[in-house]
Amino acid sequence: MSFWSRLTNVIRSGRVDRELDTELQFHLESRIEALVAQGVPREEAVRQAGRRFGTPIRWREQSRDVKLLPWLDSLLRDVRFGARALRRNAIVTTAAIASLSLAIGACVAAFSIVDALLLRPLTVRQPSRLVYATFPTGNPERPESDTFNDPTFVRLRDAGRGHVDLFAMSTQVMRPVTFWDGGGQKERVRTQYVSGDAFERLGIIAAAGRLFTAADDTAPGASAVAIVSHAFWQRRFGGDPSIIGRSFELVNERARDVRALQIVGVADARFTGVEPGRPTDVWMPYTMGDRRGFGNYYYNWFRIFGRVRDGVHVEQAQSVLHAAFATIRRERAGRSAPDTSPEAIARFIATPLYLRSAANGPSPLRQQFARPLWILAAIAGLVLIIAGSNVANLFLARTAARERELSLRLSIGASRSRVIQQVLIESALIAVAATLAGLVVAAVAAPMVTTMLATSDDPARLDLHLDWRLSAFSAVLALLVTGLFGLVPALRASGVAPIGALQGQGRSTMRSSALRHFVAIQIAFGLMVLFVGGLLVQSFARLSNVNPGFVSSNLLVLSLETVERVDAERQRAALLEVLPQLRTVAGVQVVSATEFGALGRPWTHVMAIPGTANARLESSVMPIAPRYFEAMQVPIVAGRPFGDADMIPGAGAVIVNQAFATRFFGDVPALGRTLDTRFGNNDGEAPHEIVGVAADTKYDLRRPPAPIIYLPLSERGTSTVLVRAAVPGQTLIPRLREAIPSANPLFRVGNVRTQAPVVGETLLRERLLASLSGFFAAVGLALVAIGLYGVLSYSVVQRTREIGIRVALGSGQLGVVQAMLVGVAIPTVLGIAAGLAGGLYLSRFVRTLLFEVEPMAPWSLLLPFALLALAAMLAAAVPALRAARVDPVVALRHD
C-alpha cells in the first residue's frame, strides 16, 4: 500500500478495527451461548463456534478493505496518476508551479503585511472599546492632530469620568540608552511615556515584575522606573529575569539630560505596543517626560487614549469631552495676541474633538502606507489571475492532448464526475505545490517589504508569523486557484465526446476558443498591471529628479555622542570649538552643524508675528551652526548668513526661508522684521530679528517648500555635524572618526551617513510602490508572453494538418502566419480594450500617490501598450515561424 493509504489507515483504522472486532466478537459469543444452551460443554462450544466461523482476522481484513478502500482508492489513484502525468511534463509543470508560487507568494506576503499593519486588532482587552482623541488643525498638510498637552489631558480626563477612562501615551521616539552590560555603548531603543493607569486600562498583564500603576503618576520626575517589552527582553537580554531591579541610563535629547531608570517589569508577550509596525521597546511613566511639558499648554507630546465605559456610546463620550475641550479653548482664546481676528478666535474655540477607534491602534505608518499596500495587494491579485490563467491554459492544452485517453475512459463507463475529479486533482496538486512554494516566497518577501516601510533609524517591525489568519488565507487562495483555473479545463475534459475522439482521425472535438478567452483575460490584466506599475514608476522617477534645494552628494551627516555626561552649555561651546578644527582635515571643504539632518523632520513651533494677521502660525524651526548654508550649498537671497557672533546666547538673530517670507509677509520684505516668541527655556525675552532670507529647501520632496525658521545653534543642543567633502564622502569617514576625538576627547562619532541615501529615505512610500509594482509589471508581462506563446504553439500543433493543406493549396508563408494570428487577434484587441479601461479605473486609486504624472497623458497610455505589444510579438514569433515552416508533405502524413 502506498504512503497515502497507510497514512489514512493510521487516521481511520483505529475506529474501524475496533468496531469490526466488536461485531465479530458478538457473533462468536452468541454462537457459543447457543451451543452451550443445547448442552454442548463450554470448551467444545468454543472450538465448534471457532471452526464454523473461520479465522476472524481474515474476515476482519477483508471487511476492512471493503470499508477503507473505496474511500481512498479513487482519490489515491487520481493523485498518483496526476503526479505521474505532471512529472512527465516536468518543464511545463515547473513553469506553472513557479509562476503560480510567485504570484501566490506575492499575495500571501501582501496579505500578511496588510493584516499585520492594517487589519489585526491590538492585543488588548476589548480593543473595540478603545478610542483615541483627535482634533482638526486647519493645516492642509496635516489635517488632524492627535497630540495633546498635559493640562488639557488632565482636564479632559476629569471631565470624561463615568463615560470614558482617558490615559496618555506619548509619541514614540528612538532614544539612546546605556545598559549596564553594554560597555558604555549607546543603543537606540524605541521609547514611550505612558500614564500610570495605561496598562490597566489596556488590560495588559505583566510577564515578569510589575507594570505601572497610578502611584507612578504622583509628581514629575518622581518615579524613575521603566518597563520593557517582552520582545525586547528576549532580543536584548535573552529573557534573563535578573534584569528586573537593574538600572539603565536614558539620554533625553530634548530635555538635554541623562537619567537612571530602574526596570521594574516586563509586559505580556502578546502586547507589542499600540502602534502597529513600530513595537515599543521601553515604557516609562509619563511623569518622567520633559519637565517643561507639565502644566504647559504649548507642549503637545502625547496621544490621549480612552476606554469607553460599558453601556456608553462613543458619541456620548465624545460630546462630553468636546464640551470640556471647548471650555478649555474658550479660556485659552483670551490669551491670544491682542490683534487676533474674531473669526480666528471663533474658529479656535469651535474646534471639535473627535474620538477615533483605536481598535487596531493609531499608526502614522498605517496612514502613510495603507493605500500603497492595498494597491500592491490588488496588483499581486491581478498577477495571480494572470498566472492562474496560464495554468488553466496549460491544462486546457493538456486535456486536448489527452482527448483520446479521456474519450476512451468515458466510453468504457467512467462517469463524467470521475473525469472532472481527475483533472481537478491535477490542478489541486499544482495549487498545493504552488501554495507551499508561495509560503516560502512570502516568508522571504514580506520581511524585505517591511524593511522598505521605514528608515534604518526607526525600523518598522511587523509580526508576520504564520498564524491561523495567514494559514486560512493561503488555504482559501489555493482553493480559489484550483476552483477558478481548474474547473474550466475539468469541465472541458468531461465534455469530450465518448466515441468522437476515437473515430476522428486527428479531428479535434475541442476548439481552442477557451484558450483564447484566457488570452483575452491575460492581456487585459497584464495591461492593467503594466499601466498602474508604469504610472508609479514614472512618478518615482520624476520625484527622484526633484531638486531639494541643496546638494546632497559628498555631504556627510555625522551624529556626535559625548563620552561623559556634560552640561548642555559646555557641550555646545565645545562643539562650536571643534567645528573649525575639522576643516583642517584633508578633503574637508566646509563643516557645520544642525540639530537635525537636512531632511529630518524639524520640530514645529507655534507663534504670533506682531503686526500681521497671523494670530497663530506654525512653522518648522531648525537650529544651525555658522556656515550651514555654505555646507548645504543653499544660497542666501537676502541679508546674511549666521556668523560666530550670532551663536552667543541671546543674540536674537534668525534667518527664514523664502517660503516663510512669502507666506507671512507677502510682498513686504521680511528682512529686519521681528518674531515675538520664545523658542526655548533659555531664550531671553528679546524679540528675534530676521537677519537673512535663505533659498527654499524641501524636506518633503512631494510638497512645495514649507516655511522654516533657522535659529542659531546656541539656543538648542545638537548632535549632528554636516561635512561637505571635496572628495567622495566615504573616504573621509575614518579620518573624521579620528579627528573628532583628538580635537576634543569629549566627543565620539556615532552613526555616519551620506546625505544622498537620506534623501532617498524620504521617498520610502514612492520607492516601495515603484519597485514592487515595477517588479509585478515585469512578472505580469513575462506571464502574458508565456501564455500567448503557449496558446499559439498549441494551436500550431493542433492545426498542422490544416496548415499543410493551406500550403499544399498554394498559400504562401505569410498567409499561413496570418491565418494563425487571426485567431488571437480578436481576443488580443478585446483584452487591450478591457485592460485600458480597467487600468484607467484603477488609476483613480493611485492618483493621490502620483507626482506630476497624469494617467490620461498619451505617454502613460502608450508605454504599457507598446511594452505589451513588443512582448506579444516576441511570444508569437516562434510559433508563427514554426507554422510558416510546416512542410505539407510531412503535415498531411501526420497521424
Partner 1 sequence: MARQDALQGSLPLLVLKLLARRGPLHGYGLATQIETMSDDLLRVEEGSLYPALHRLEEDGLIKARWSTTETGRRARMYEITTAGRKQLESDEMRWKAITSAVGKVLKQA
Can you tell me which of 2, 30, 367, 503 binds partner 1, judged by CB under 8 A? 30
Tell me the one-letter amino acid at 234. Q
Q: How many chain residues bind partner 1 (CB under 8 A)?
A: 24
| CB neighbours of residue 575 within 10 Å | 21
Regarding 59 and contact with partner 1 (CB under 8 A), the answer is yes
Phi first, then psi: give them for residue 678, nearest 5 degrees.
-110, 125
Whether the Cβ atoms of residue 164 and residue 133 lie closer than 8 Å to each other = no
As measured in angstroms, the least distance from the Cβ of 66 to partner 1 is 4
Which CB atom, from 44 or from 240, has the smaller least distance to partner 1? 44
Can you tell me which of 24, 98, 414, 487 binds partner 1, judged by CB under 8 A? 24
Whether the Cβ atoms of residue 7 and residue 71 lie closer than 8 Å to each other = no
**DSSP code per residue over 843-872:** HHHHGGG-SS--TTSHHHHHHHHHHHHHHH
Distance between CA atoms of residues 566 and 233, nearest Å:
30
Whether the Cβ atoms of residue 306 and residue 160 lie closer than 8 Å to each other = yes
Which CB atom, from 63 or from 818, has the smaller least distance to partner 1? 63
As measured in angstroms, the least distance from the Cβ of 39 to partner 1 is 17
As measured in angstroms, the least distance from the Cβ of 409 to partner 1 is 22
Regarding 336 and contact with partner 1 (CB under 8 A), the answer is no
Regarding 42 and contact with partner 1 (CB under 8 A), the answer is no
Can you tell me which of 37, 38, 43, 55 binds partner 1, judged by CB under 8 A? 55
Can you tell me which of 2, 14, 42, 53 binds partner 1, judged by CB under 8 A? 53
Candidates 29-37, 415-423, 456-464, 629-637 — which segment interacts with partner 1 by CB under 8 A? 29-37
Candidates 55-63, 241-249, 350-358, 470-478 — which segment interacts with partner 1 by CB under 8 A? 55-63
Regarding 56 and contact with partner 1 (CB under 8 A), the answer is yes
Can you tell me which of 11, 43, 54, 87 binds partner 1, judged by CB under 8 A? 54
Which CB atom, from 18 or from 142, has the smaller least distance to partner 1? 18
Which CB atom, from 55 or from 848, has the smaller least distance to partner 1? 55
Whether the Cβ atoms of residue 304 and residue 132 lie closer than 8 Å to each other = yes
As measured in angstroms, the least distance from the Cβ of 843 to partner 1 is 58
Candidates 66-74, 302-310, 512-520, 605-613 — which segment interacts with partner 1 by CB under 8 A? 66-74
As measured in angstroms, the least distance from the Cβ of 32 to partner 1 is 11
Whether the Cβ atoms of residue 619 and residue 579 lie closer than 8 Å to each other = no
What is the torsion angle, in degrees rounded to the nearest 10, for the CA atoms of residue 740, residue 743, residue 745 and residue 749? -10
Can you tell me which of 26, 298, 841, 845 binds partner 1, judged by CB under 8 A? 26
Distance between CA atoms of residues 584 and 12, nearest Å:
83
3-state secondary structure of 294: coil
Q: Is 305 left (phi over 0), alpha (psi -120 to 50) or beta?
A: beta
Helix (H) / strand (E) element for 188: namely strand 187-194
As measured in angstroms, the least distance from the Cβ of 885 to partner 1 is 57
Regarding 52 and contact with partner 1 (CB under 8 A), the answer is yes
As measured in angstroms, the least distance from the Cβ of 417 to partner 1 is 16
Distance between CA atoms of residues 334 and 322, nearest Å:
19
Regarding 31 and contact with partner 1 (CB under 8 A), the answer is yes
Whether the Cβ atoms of residue 272 and residue 231 lie closer than 8 Å to each other = yes
Regarding 415 and contact with partner 1 (CB under 8 A), the answer is no
Distance between CA atoms of residues 813 and 63, nearest Å:
66
Place of cell 493510521: 10
Candidates 22-30, 521-529, 572-580, 673-681 — which segment interacts with partner 1 by CB under 8 A? 22-30
Which CB atom, from 26 or from 859, has the smaller least distance to partner 1? 26
Whether the Cβ atoms of residue 204 and residue 211 lie closer than 8 Å to each other = yes
Regarding 18 and contact with partner 1 (CB under 8 A), the answer is no
Phi first, then psi: give them for residue 589, nearest 5 degrees.
-95, -60
Candidates 17-25, 116-124, 200-208, 791-799 — which segment interacts with partner 1 by CB under 8 A? 17-25
Distance between CA atoms of residues 551 and 724, nearest Å:
9
Q: Cα angle vertex 511, ends 867, 516, to 5°?
A: 15
Can you tell me which of 1, 34, 606, 645 binds partner 1, judged by CB under 8 A? 34
Collect all residues with Cβ–Cβ distance below 8 Å to 778 and sequence separation of at least 6.
none
Place of cell 476548439: 511
| CB neighbours of residue 131 within 10 Å | 24
Which CB atom, from 63 or from 316, has the smaller least distance to partner 1? 63
Which CB atom, from 33 or from 895, has the smaller least distance to partner 1? 33
As measured in angstroms, the least distance from the Cβ of 390 to partner 1 is 41
Whether the Cβ atoms of residue 548 and residue 701 lie closer than 8 Å to each other = yes
Q: What would you report as the CA-atom Rg of the chain, rounded to the nearest whole angstrom?
A: 37
Regarding 128 and contact with partner 1 (CB under 8 A), the answer is no
C-alpha cell at 520: 483575452
Place of cell 456610546: 313
Which CB atom, from 56 or from 760, has the smaller least distance to partner 1? 56
Contact map string, positions 813 to 852, toward partner 1, x by CB under 8 A? ----------------------------------------
Collect all residues with Cβ–Cβ distance below 8 Å to 316 and sequence separation of at least 6.
163
3-state secondary structure of 383: helix
Rounded to the nearest 10 degrees, the angle between the axes of helix 513-544 and helix 468-494 is 140
Regarding 414 and contact with partner 1 (CB under 8 A), the answer is no
Can you tell me which of 21, 23, 73, 852 binds partner 1, judged by CB under 8 A? 23
Can you tell me which of 5, 63, 319, 581 binds partner 1, judged by CB under 8 A? 63
Candidates 65-73, 373-381, 571-579, 690-698 — which segment interacts with partner 1 by CB under 8 A? 65-73
Can you tell me which of 10, 11, 37, 66 binds partner 1, judged by CB under 8 A? 66
CA distances from 236 to 182, 193, 205, 233, 610 (A): 10, 20, 21, 6, 52
CA distances from 745 to 187, 498, 509, 717, 749 (A): 20, 92, 88, 18, 11
Can you tell me which of 1, 21, 42, 70 binds partner 1, judged by CB under 8 A? 70
As measured in angstroms, the least distance from the Cβ of 57 to partner 1 is 10
C-alpha cell at 376: 500592491
Which CB atom, from 65 or from 577, has the smaller least distance to partner 1? 65
As measured in angstroms, the least distance from the Cβ of 73 to partner 1 is 11
Collect all residues with Cβ–Cβ distance below 8 Å to 90 and sequence separation of at least 6.
none
Can you tell me which of 7, 19, 812, 852 binds partner 1, judged by CB under 8 A? 19
Candidates 14-22, 432-440, 661-669, 802-810 — which segment interacts with partner 1 by CB under 8 A? 14-22
Which CB atom, from 29 or from 141, has the smaller least distance to partner 1? 29
Return residues touching partner 1 (CB under 8 A). 19-20, 22-24, 26-27, 29-31, 34, 52-56, 58-60, 62-63, 66-67, 70
